[in-house]
Structure 1
């Protein structure tokens, strides 16, 4: 791993054992990207930029018609000075001009990686793990400096990028666009992969060929959203799960974003990613600085599985933090689908006692324990225990359940406020609202204004009061309403477009305070399921409820799509009752369990209403997951068959030392005349022998990967099969 500046060629070469990223300073200080991809030992300008007179492409130098910013592969393109493509940033000056002109000023190379102030980001535990390059670009006329930051890790094939903009001039500057990363490719022969969806239908995979013009995914919902994920990948037409080139981009941010791919008139491709410029601006007074969130760029020559393993390892070890980063996650029972709002202390204790008898480790009390919360019409913001449901208080319930030998968890929705709440009656101005306009309401709730510090501090205190007085070791942090009426009573008019970003900064401030104060608490993020499943939240909460849809068949796609970027250890996955509450489907308990075992395993059903036979099956499932969860949660994950392309799905998990693996296969609908399936596992040691722990038969790793294992035909819908293999010295 190294970063080399060649002062003769004026090139920067970032390099580790697998990838290279090369930039060059060209005419009069402009910075261009000349290569990103598989590692090269030395860059010697074999693909030097060719200059032509394009006729209608403007020229900064009137004496040189061959040089135009409209045609070069700019590293961080500006607006208004000849490049007609989408700019990476835009700054409005006091005289109304939006034109800027950045030139190279200086650079700095150092070991390690700096923390981004107030923002989540990947990190190092030792400075030898990474090197960072900072390139300072300057617009001398207006006193603007833009610092481009690049970090390359020794063990991860990624470039972590972010940007800071500083006003060193005498007049205020107004940022109206500030992307975190931009890169130009001198070709357009790509296909684009994105993740799209909706509530209870998150993380579907879209793949299509690039065409001239702009292809874009974005969110304007105040959250990363279930509609489009802050991720995209460029791949070749022949790229598959296990071979071919992948260039991918993922945003470490939880708010409004844009990710755009533009194919221009000369068949160049520009990718930009950052905070959505729609309804955004940020005022910089003299001496002030604005920091963008981080983008993680990856390159893989080993297909989509290669890309995913890079994200999985990076995010699980150098984005996720805290006590639970390296700790096995507990198997839980959540009471939501068992009781909804209709419960009391005795009913909760019965569910917990039954769960303990089955071998479950954590009970989670969901919505309805506070205020007068008998439905979703009231009480958000009033985080005081409802004595009608819990007459002896929360501490008594927590003690009773922890005395059973179970952990206790609890649900919050701290970012929201009900109009029917004491908090709203006392502080109506704390909700996002526009003066003299009726507020839009979602799920009978409004959004608290987290751009205000006093609101953030109230949330910290209210949640702390609950967590400080009880032996609570888990929090489900929900957010069921996206932003509307975005206006803050605490901000002056010219700063109102800062509100949505300040909200996210306020959220991060809250989470930093709470996760620091309660290191023993496992926080799980949720936003009506996967509405805010993003890398920014993983920095604070090491797992996320993947979707409110717990139907096993739907979850095959949801979890498969999520796995493109996020590791299984981050995915909350539960077995729920049938008919399923979201789609009404009836699936076997075994299949529901195998799908849920592919993430952080748990149950979300009424244990008092299941048969003894089902209880015995659940005991076996729980015991099995305890044996394999170290492989599921900390091993390598490989996708084998896609439910988006076939009537099947399959994947396998391999321990880090390749001595154990778990394979799973799912057949969705029974088909007449089905052929016998041979499933080829991935990621094994070809020189090892593995014993099937069910049949005791032994196979070589090379045989299991290249020949495969037979999947017997079962004439039934929604079937699944799980295999466990372990390395053995015995050969057959």
Structure 2
């Protein structure tokens, strides 16, 4: 049992193989005690018990799900408004139960178990006797992973209406001065995944999304670390919200140096009406502890998300190498042009052709036809089935781009159903990219999209779908919701997306779905539950991708990161980089090409053949291996990372130099994750030279790097144990 309850003292001790999470009931309040390295459980553990100063009040208690209005003046985890307009509730402990395994969350994506022995779940019941508000806090602790998953269910057990003004997923109070720093991901379109790290001071540090999606600007993830924490050492506490809509995360340091971290659905412009008997479920937060730095924090998330968040046929399968026609043709194509690209792809060993935007309605630019999911017979006289069949006969699978959450004002669907978009009567409808957002709170809208896409997927041999979303939510209102529920629209939209994705991925389990939101605008755990990979960024420049992919790896596995080689000059920044450099960067994720293969020279075709053949050999290690970040592109001219097999008998190392360095010193790259007792055969790229080097030397002395005197240099090493099983 990984959950120990000490009833006489009200202590709850949740244990994994390497972590403990402890809280205690104090005067009816669940109070945080400890989160960190695993502690041996002893009876009665009285040295850990919280002893509150007399008359100190709630403001001094490190609580598990704090409220506002009864003496705690920090940010609360929830707030409820009663029917009389007052906003005072006071949750007190009412009981608990322990469940083997981890229950699913109805209507939500969630981490799961395949065997109930993998985890135990504690449900803690809290009640406000005056209003009848009941809150059930859920804690799922994994036995062999340093991860705990938290969520809350708020239930109106009273006889009057309640309105939730705030309902977060998790709150943790770290008591005492810790000198924390916070690390999180920032950015914008085409420059996602920037790592921001800064110290916390008295007051609040907050980031959020008010966009109706998780967003390019901030990812729903943060880690609290100490100033001494590095990739390889020090404490790191991670919080990752499994949600695809507007969110908030905040770290608040009080006057005593204690830090409260909150995360959940954004409470800005949010309210949720609970009539008697109704409940509200929060999305879950995956909390990970590492005592071995940010690298081990990341690997814990990677293993968990890759195997217990992603689902379906492709979870454990090696992903296909694809070519996407978007940057090759944009909207200007016909069936013969598409097939010509696929023909070249077949000769080069590529496995999947993806037809991007422009195949439906009258879509000759991005100002029309979204919602009209009918093939354009002007471009495709034989329809999708014909072009897909021709591509299949070349030996490639066929993939398709869709943007099902959007509607163009210039579309047959909009002319027939102008009320189907998110809108507020009498207000202008803000267009972005000449499109509006469909109202996914409405069942008939989701049914229409399901029927439209199902008709295509049932009649065309589609093996892959790129599901895009290219704008934020504005005029967030629904014609179907009553006035008192209009503030529920944004959250109901996300629930509607989840409902549709569950239906369509269940109906078409043989399709590999990839999510996209103008690149990484909705790269979050919620989408990974339905689609095991994400188009990481619309920016395909290899130099920019070093940062984007490095930063994204802070929480997301390489198996989720879509990475393609594109043409030069690069379409986003105009940079010229060698094909080998672009390939090495892209092969560190789900590999593909985003260009016109028919324009390659014979020399370039030979390079691509080698890249494709090499990736087929290494992709299992890239997509399933443990990632070790060796050199950060945010800190200098060089970048490096490596992938290591679970048994530590095989590894793959990539290193990059952006700009040439005059008269450089000899440089060594220290590796990580290997076994110091094993001897390894080290092969540099395609070289036939394979020296034998000990794991201890590779990690403590390192590999000598030899860069040519030119910009944009890269290389890779394949490392294999010559004495496996001897460690």
In structure 1, C-alpha distance between the alignment counterparts of 2:498 and 2:178, rounded to whole Å: 37
In structure 1, C-alpha distance between the alignment counterparts of 2:270 and 2:460, rounded to whole Å: 41
- The reply on whether 1:113 has 2:107 as its aligned counterpart is no
Comparing 69-78 and 673-682, the one that deviates more: 673-682
Match of 1:309 among 255, 278, 299: 299
- What is the deviation of 1:437? 1.3
Q: 3-state DSSP class of the match of 1:631? A: helix
- What is the deviation of 1:728? 1.3
In structure 1, C-alpha distance between the alignment counterparts of 2:455 and 2:707, rounded to whole Å: 56
In the TM superposition, 1:50-69 aligns within 5 A as 50-52=51-53, 65-69=54-58
Q: 3-state DSSP class of the match of 1:537? A: helix
In structure 1, C-alpha distance between the alignment counterparts of 2:414 and 2:559, rounded to whole Å: 37
Q: For 1:280-339, what per-residue CA distance to the aligned partner results, in whole angstroms no more than 9, with x for missing partners? A: 111011101110000001110010110000000000000000000000000000000000
What is residue 712 of structure 2 aligned with on the other side?
A: 718
Q: 3-state DSSP class of the match of 1:201? A: coil
Q: 1:725 to 1:487 in 2, by over 3 A?
A: same
In structure 2, C-alpha distance between the alignment counterparts of 1:726 and 1:22, rounded to whole Å: 42
Q: For 1:544-584, what per-residue CA distance to the aligned partner results, in whole angstroms no more than 9, with x for missing partners? A: 00000000000000000000000000000000000000000
What is residue 197 of structure 1 aligned with on the other side?
A: 187
What is residue 410 of structure 1 aligned with on the other side?
A: 400
Q: 3-state DSSP class of the match of 2:47? A: coil
- The reply on whether 1:25 has 2:25 as its aligned counterpart is yes
In the TM superposition, 1:156-195 aligns within 5 A as 156-186=145-175, 187-195=177-185
- What is the deviation of 1:523? 0.2
- The reply on whether 1:609 has 2:599 as its aligned counterpart is yes
Match of 2:116 among 113, 120, 127: 127
Match of 1:424 among 414, 422, 447: 414
Q: 3-state DSSP class of the match of 2:315? A: coil
Q: 3-state DSSP class of the match of 2:338? A: helix
TM-score (normalised: structure 1): 0.97
In structure 1, C-alpha distance between the alignment counterparts of 2:528 and 2:144, rounded to whole Å: 20
What is residue 640 of structure 2 aligned with on the other side?
A: 650
In structure 2, C-alpha distance between the alignment counterparts of 1:219 and 1:261, rounded to whole Å: 16
Match of 1:622 among 612, 623, 635: 612
In structure 1, C-alpha distance between the alignment counterparts of 2:637 and 2:201, rounded to whole Å: 30
In structure 1, C-alpha distance between the alignment counterparts of 2:195 and 2:723, rounded to whole Å: 41
In structure 2, C-alpha distance between the alignment counterparts of 1:315 and 1:636, rounded to whole Å: 13
Q: For 1:238-292, what per-residue CA distance to the aligned partner results, in whole angstroms no more than 9, with x for missing partners? A: 1000110001100000000000000011111000000000011110111011100
Asked if 2 retains the 8 angstrom alpha-carbon contact of 1:91 and 1:175, the reply is yes
In the TM superposition, 1:250-289 aligns within 5 A as 250-289=240-279
- The reply on whether 1:464 has 2:465 as its aligned counterpart is no
What is residue 47 of structure 2 aligned with on the other side?
A: 46
In the TM superposition, 1:505-524 aligns within 5 A as 505-524=495-514
- What is the deviation of 1:669? 1.1
Comparing 155-164 and 696-705, the one that deviates more: 696-705
What is residue 82 of structure 1 aligned with on the other side?
A: 71
Asked if 2 retains the 8 angstrom alpha-carbon contact of 1:218 and 1:258, the reply is yes
What is residue 14 of structure 2 aligned with on the other side?
A: 14
In structure 2, C-alpha distance between the alignment counterparts of 1:200 and 1:33, rounded to whole Å: 40
Q: For 1:486-515, what per-residue CA distance to the aligned partner results, in whole angstroms no more than 9, with x for missing partners? A: 010000011000000000000000100010
Q: 3-state DSSP class of the match of 2:25? A: strand
In the TM superposition, 1:285-434 aligns within 5 A as 285-434=275-424
- What is the deviation of 1:51? 3.2
In structure 2, C-alpha distance between the alignment counterparts of 1:10 and 1:607, rounded to whole Å: 66
Match of 1:696 among 674, 678, 690: 690
In structure 1, C-alpha distance between the alignment counterparts of 2:646 and 2:607, rounded to whole Å: 29
In structure 1, C-alpha distance between the alignment counterparts of 2:449 and 2:81, rounded to whole Å: 35
In structure 2, C-alpha distance between the alignment counterparts of 1:372 and 1:606, rounded to whole Å: 23
Q: 3-state DSSP class of the match of 1:70? A: helix
- The reply on whether 1:149 has 2:127 as its aligned counterpart is no
Asked if 2 retains the 8 angstrom alpha-carbon contact of 1:530 and 1:545, the reply is yes
In structure 1, C-alpha distance between the alignment counterparts of 2:435 and 2:666, rounded to whole Å: 53
Comparing 535-544 and 462-471, the one that deviates more: 462-471
What is residue 493 of structure 2 aligned with on the other side?
A: 503
Q: 3-state DSSP class of the match of 2:248? A: strand
- The reply on whether 1:709 has 2:703 as its aligned counterpart is yes
Comparing 672-681 and 355-364, the one that deviates more: 672-681
Note the residue ranges of structure 2 that are not aligned, 5 or more in a row. none
In structure 1, C-alpha distance between the alignment counterparts of 2:664 and 2:538, rounded to whole Å: 33
Asked if 2 retains the 8 angstrom alpha-carbon contact of 1:184 and 1:271, the reply is yes
In structure 2, C-alpha distance between the alignment counterparts of 1:684 and 1:515, rounded to whole Å: 38
In structure 1, C-alpha distance between the alignment counterparts of 2:35 and 2:707, rounded to whole Å: 46
- What is the deviation of 1:657? 2.0
In structure 2, C-alpha distance between the alignment counterparts of 1:541 and 1:51, rounded to whole Å: 47
Q: For 1:629-684, what per-residue CA distance to the aligned partner results, in whole angstroms no more than 9, with x for missing partners? A: 01000111100000001111000001122221110000011122322210011111
What is residue 5 of structure 1 aligned with on the other side?
A: 5
Q: For 1:361-382, what per-residue CA distance to the aligned partner results, in whole angstroms no more than 9, with x for missing partners? A: 0000000000000000100000
Q: 3-state DSSP class of the match of 1:473? A: strand
- What is the deviation of 1:50? 4.2
Asked if 2 retains the 8 angstrom alpha-carbon contact of 1:676 and 1:713, the reply is no
Asked if 2 retains the 8 angstrom alpha-carbon contact of 1:3 and 1:15, the reply is yes
In structure 1, C-alpha distance between the alignment counterparts of 2:80 and 2:128, rounded to whole Å: 11
Asked if 2 retains the 8 angstrom alpha-carbon contact of 1:162 and 1:294, the reply is yes
Asked if 2 retains the 8 angstrom alpha-carbon contact of 1:23 and 1:31, the reply is yes
In structure 2, C-alpha distance between the alignment counterparts of 1:407 and 1:110, rounded to whole Å: 44
In structure 2, C-alpha distance between the alignment counterparts of 1:317 and 1:539, rounded to whole Å: 10
In structure 2, C-alpha distance between the alignment counterparts of 1:188 and 1:14, rounded to whole Å: 22
In structure 1, C-alpha distance between the alignment counterparts of 2:143 and 2:83, rounded to whole Å: 44
Asked if 1 retains the 8 angstrom alpha-carbon contact of 2:26 and 2:50, the reply is no
In structure 1, C-alpha distance between the alignment counterparts of 2:511 and 2:46, rounded to whole Å: 53
Q: For 1:16-38, what per-residue CA distance to the aligned partner results, in whole angstroms no more than 9, with x for missing partners? A: 110000010012x1110100110
- What is the deviation of 1:45? 3.7
Q: For 1:88-142, what per-residue CA distance to the aligned partner results, in whole angstroms no more than 9, with x for missing partners? A: 0000000001111000001001210100000000001111110000000000111
Please provide the CA RMSD for this pair. Answer: 1.1
- What is the deviation of 1:188? 3.8
Comparing 418-427 and 1-10, the one that deviates more: 1-10
- What is the deviation of 1:47? 4.3
Q: 3-state DSSP class of the match of 1:262? A: strand
- The reply on whether 1:102 has 2:91 as its aligned counterpart is yes
In structure 2, C-alpha distance between the alignment counterparts of 1:277 and 1:367, rounded to whole Å: 35
Q: 3-state DSSP class of the match of 1:506? A: helix
TM-score (normalised: structure 2): 0.98
In structure 2, C-alpha distance between the alignment counterparts of 1:75 and 1:581, rounded to whole Å: 49
What is residue 93 of structure 1 aligned with on the other side?
A: 82
Asked if 1 retains the 8 angstrom alpha-carbon contact of 2:637 and 2:659, the reply is yes
